Amino acid sequence: MYNFNQSISRIGSNCTKWDRYANRYHIEDVIPLWVADMDFTCLAEVKEAIIKRAEHQIYGYTDPSEELYAAIINWEKRQHGIEVEPDDIVLNTGVVYGFYTLIDMLVQKHEKVIVQNPVYPPFFNTPYSLNRDVVFNPLCYKNGHYYMNLEDFEQKLKEQPEIRMFIMCNPHNPTGQCHTLEEINSIMEICERYNVWVVSDEIHADIIMPNQKHISSYRCDERYWNRLILLGSPTKTFNLAGLKISYAIVKNHELQKEFARVAKANGLSSVNIFGIEALIAAYTYGDQWREECCSYIYENFLFLKQFIEENMPLVKFDIPEATYLAWLDFTAYNVPDDMAERLKYEGHVELQAGIGFGMAYSKYQRVNVACPRSTLEEGMKRVKKWLEMNQYL
């Protein structure tokens, strides 16, 4: 049994999540429940693999090993039931790097990208930063579940033939739904008809709650594979984001070669050597850790649900099917649009402001529960106290 209750201080490690209060904001004692990064110590085999590599004392350019490709191939087969060949893979330093490069390669300046909001901000900020326009196809919410609005999606593709790429979040951040095979096939079929590339960001694919299932986009009908690029990574599941490693699965081999060529031309001639070791160790020895981690996260969601029901019952929250992210709707308490900012300074707890996921979500907050329960409890007590202090509760 792994111990996810263990709390190790990250303060003083230049940690993005914990150290910015002292370094940037000059506030003390803030509980961070924002960025999607876990506070759990990593799998022991990952640490050992990194130490072993470090002991060699030479860290020059390093080619990806057959073992690395085998680890990815076996993981994708074991966890998601898809067949991957070494020639399908392009190594990247991150998923956002992946979709940045793909937008630049496949979407002309006058063309557009379509995304499903609310969504992880780089889905629209990255195309904007590349001067590509973005079209929004909002998810719809019914009976505690978010769905794709396929009619609206198709309508937008019909009306705006400049839409050239769909970036799918599967599972979805921040709403946490696993798309069904039916939804994936339907959206692929629409994209086929309108000649739209599909980039499926599957970074949260392994953080799945009990009785739920992630459906890899490559489970779709084979006739759509030529337009599909899957972006995968061990960095969310195993908390390795600082090691900068991820991969794309591209079954269109012409595109795979071009993607690999462009990545190399952009300076990615090799990936991080410690990232390579970490990925191999995580994907080889991490099955049990992943399962137990998902169970712990689920227990945290149950705790959060109960806390909300007992302390702020008008907040809407459905336990997600995937991810370690809770999407809370505070609308009923008439909270201010700058709630997250004020919580940080006045309440000493930081949540991820919903407005970052789309303008319509200013009353939402995203809570990261991938931390020891005691941290989550303390953070939520501070949220409650702040709501009371300001008479929203």
Ligand X SMILES: Cc1ncc(COP(=O)(O)O)c(C=O)c1O
Helix axes 287-311, 373-389, angle to 10 degrees: 20
Nearer to ligand X, 203 or 335 (CB): 203
Nearer to ligand X, 154 or 321 (CB): 321
Structural contact between residues 201 and 170, judged by C-beta atoms closer than 8 angstroms: yes
Nearer to ligand X, 95 or 339 (CB): 95
Residue number closest to ligand X, CB atom: 94
Paired sense of beta strands 228-232 and 197-201, if any: parallel
Q: What is the CA radius of gyration of the chain?
A: 21
Nearer to ligand X, 169 or 326 (CB): 169
- Supply the minimum distance, in Å, between the C-beta of residue 20 and ligand X: 16
Longest dimension (CA), the chain: 60
Query: Tokens at residue 182, please?
Result: 């039916």
Interface with ligand X in residues 231-250 (CB under 6 A): 233, 235, 241, 246
Structural contact between residues 126 and 98, judged by C-beta atoms closer than 8 angstroms: no
Helix axes 122-129, 95-106, angle to 10 degrees: 40
- Supply the minimum distance, in Å, between the C-beta of residue 233 and ligand X: 5
Query: Tokens at residue 43, please?
Result: 């799998």
- Supply the minimum distance, in Å, between the C-beta of residue 239 and ligand X: 11
Nearer to ligand X, 94 or 354 (CB): 94
Helix or strand or coil: residue 201? strand
Nearer to ligand X, 153 or 324 (CB): 324
Choose, by CB under 6 A, the member of 203, 260, 304, 322 that binds ligand X.
203
- Supply the minimum distance, in Å, between the C-beta of residue 242 and ligand X: 9
Binding map of ligand X across residues 315-354, x = CB under 6 A, - = no contact? ----------------------------------------
- Supply the minimum distance, in Å, between the C-beta of residue 92 and ligand X: 8
Give the whole-angstrom CA distance, residue 49 versus residue 275: 10
Kindly tell me the burial class for residue 291, based on how many C-beta atoms sit within 10 Å of its own C-beta (0-12, 13-18, 19 or more).
middle
Nearer to ligand X, 233 or 300 (CB): 233
Structural contact between residues 179 and 80, judged by C-beta atoms closer than 8 angstroms: no
Structural contact between residues 316 and 329, judged by C-beta atoms closer than 8 angstroms: yes
What is the helix (H) or strand (E) element at residue 90, kind and residue range?
Answer: strand 89-92
Query: Tokens at residue 47, please?
Result: 């640490």
Total residues binding ligand X (CB under 6 A): 13
Give the whole-angstrom CA distance, residue 157 versus residue 196: 9
Structural contact between residues 226 and 208, judged by C-beta atoms closer than 8 angstroms: no
Interface with ligand X in residues 1-40 (CB under 6 A): 36
Closest to 127 (Cα-Cα) out of 159, 172, 178, 166: 166
- Supply the minimum distance, in Å, between the C-beta of residue 36 and ligand X: 3
Nearer to ligand X, 154 or 183 (CB): 183
Structural contact between residues 239 and 100, judged by C-beta atoms closer than 8 angstroms: no
Interface with ligand X in residues 33-72 (CB under 6 A): 36
Task: Determine, following the binding rule CB under 6 A, whether residue 169 of this chain makes contact with ligand X.
Answer: yes
Nearer to ligand X, 17 or 251 (CB): 17
- Supply the minimum distance, in Å, between the C-beta of residue 390 and ligand X: 29
Binding map of ligand X across residues 82-101, x = CB under 6 A, - = no contact? ------------xxx-----
DSSP string, 246-284: EEEEE--HHHHHHHHHHHHHTT-SS--HHHHHHHHHHHH
* CA 364 to mean position of chain CA atoms: 18
- Supply the minimum distance, in Å, between the C-beta of residue 80 and ligand X: 16
- Supply the minimum distance, in Å, between the C-beta of residue 209 and ligand X: 16
- Supply the minimum distance, in Å, between the C-beta of residue 381 and ligand X: 25
* CA 368 to mean position of chain CA atoms: 12
Nearer to ligand X, 241 or 355 (CB): 241
Q: Which residues bind ligand X (CB under 6 A)?
A: 36, 94-96, 120, 169, 173, 201, 203, 233, 235, 241, 246
